[in-house]
Amino acid sequence: MTNYKNKRVNEVAVILLDRLASLEDKPSILRAVELKALYAEIPLLPDSEKGLFGKEINALKMHLAELVAAHKDDTEKLPAIDVTAPIDINVQTDKTPRLLSSQFGSQHPLVSEIQYVCEIFYSMGFNVEMSRQIDDDYHMFDSLNFPKDHPARDDYDTFMTTEGFVAPAHTSTMQNRMLKKYKDNLSLKKPIAVMIVDRVFRNEDLDARHEHTFYQAEGVYVDKGVNVGNLLATLKTFLGRYYHQDIEIKTQPSYFPFTEPSFEIALSCPFCKKEGCNICSYSGWIELMGCGLIHPNVLKMAGIDPVEYTGFAWGGGIERLVMMKYDIEDIRYFEAGKLEFLRQFK
């Protein structure tokens, strides 16, 4: 259908025919900017090419006009429908709603990347669980060893309901539940190995790197004799698989009430291989997530004996991981619903 000799005309034809199929206002295709752009390109061509180029644009426009006209004829023939029907009972063949063709949609990049992250951890023996979008003070703070009125609570400034529920600011809000849920593994001589993923919420000043709503992934692993070496090996293996290359990681000391010791993990910049570039602010390293060995009080509060068992935990934002993978400069694109952005991941 699109066998125009000129490559540009062909390209535009493919785009416009694709768009026409899903367009409600079909005649608007004849005013498409892509078509106008083609006309504007004529004067820039060598004289010998102008003739064919012009002819093919006209042919494309005619073809589109014919399709628009044919569609109009079709719609005039459509039977009357009951627009007040609760679902699409007007479809004669079955009782299911008539849905838009999926041919033009695609999975949101965060959905496919989250799936990929989960698959990697699943293959490493982790169960995958969802967090929740509303929680209480106990899970968000107390069960994570935040003392009452401790200033560390301020780092997790988030939204609260008037009844005192919180929109979780991190997936760590699930740690106590997960430790309790999988505690019996330990007596069966199996580790607790869970990955939690979900949306989290923060009261942030928004900019290219900060969103009020974003996704986090969190890992929790408990067994006898678990140490920092196990934690680092797990994260390094994950990052290497996620970025399809050998990634170096660097730890620096940090503070979280729920881990002791606590670390911040930075990875060697996958773009410049530590040479320095604008993505890593010329440092060669990118800070990615918090982690550490689970604080004995956190294990105790879930009914696990911290003398017998130790564990590690880590947590970090998924958008940041994805932004680095695809060189995305602004976190706000993910929720902006911009089709130009989303279509790149089709």
Percent composition of the chain: helix, strand, coil (DSSP 3-state, to 5): 45, 20, 35
Is there binding between residue 238 and ligand DAH (CB under 6 A)?
no
313 touches ligand DAH by CB under 6 A: yes
Nearer to ligand DAH, 63 or 250 (CB): 250
Regarding 218 and contact with ligand DAH (CB under 6 A), the answer is yes
- Exposure string of 176-198, with b = 16+ CB inside 10 Å and e = fewer, is bbbbeebbebbeeeebbbbbbbb
Indicate whether 264 belongs to the interface with ligand DAH (CB under 6 A): no
Beta strand ranges found along 270-318 (DSSP E): 285-294, 310-317
Stretch 145-184: interaction string toward ligand DAH, x if CB under 6 A: -------------------------x-x------------
Q: CB 333 → ligand DAH: shortest distance, Å?
A: 22
Rounded to an integer, what distance in angstroms lies between the CA atom of residue 282 and that of residue 268?
11
Minimum separation from the CB atom of position 215 to ligand DAH (A): 12
> Which of 256, 285, 309, 334 lies at the binding interface for ligand DAH (CB under 6 A)?
256
Q: Which two tokens stand for residue 101?
A: 């063709």
Helix (H) or strand (E) holding 260: strand 259-268
Q: Which H helix or E strand runs over 232?
A: helix 228-243
Q: Does residue number 13 form part of the binding site for ligand DAH (CB under 6 A)? A: no
Minimum CB–partner distance for residue 173 and ligand DAH (Å):
8
Choice between 141 and 314, CB closer to ligand DAH? 314
In this chain, which stretch among 78-86, 115-123, 185-193, 289-297 interacts with ligand DAH, using CB under 6 A? 289-297
> Between 228 and 277, whose beta carbon lies closer to ligand DAH?
228
315 binds ligand DAH (CB under 6 A): yes
Q: Candidates 22-30, 96-104, 106-114, 253-261 — which segment interacts with ligand DAH by CB under 6 A?
A: 253-261
Q: Work out the angle between the directed axes of helices 109-123 and 318-326 (0-180°, nearest 10).
A: 110
Which one of the spans 26-34, 96-104, 256-264, 274-282 is the region binding ligand DAH (CB under 6 A)?
A: 256-264
Q: Is it true that the peptide bond before 27 is cis, omega within 30 degrees of 0?
A: no
Cβ 38 vs Cβ 9: under 8 Å: yes
Give Cβ neighbours of residue 264 (< 8 Å, ≥ 6 apart).
251, 252, 253, 254, 287, 289, 290
Q: Does 197 bind ligand DAH (CB under 6 A)?
A: no
Contacting positions for ligand DAH (CB under 6 A):
170, 172, 218, 256, 258-259, 290-292, 313-315
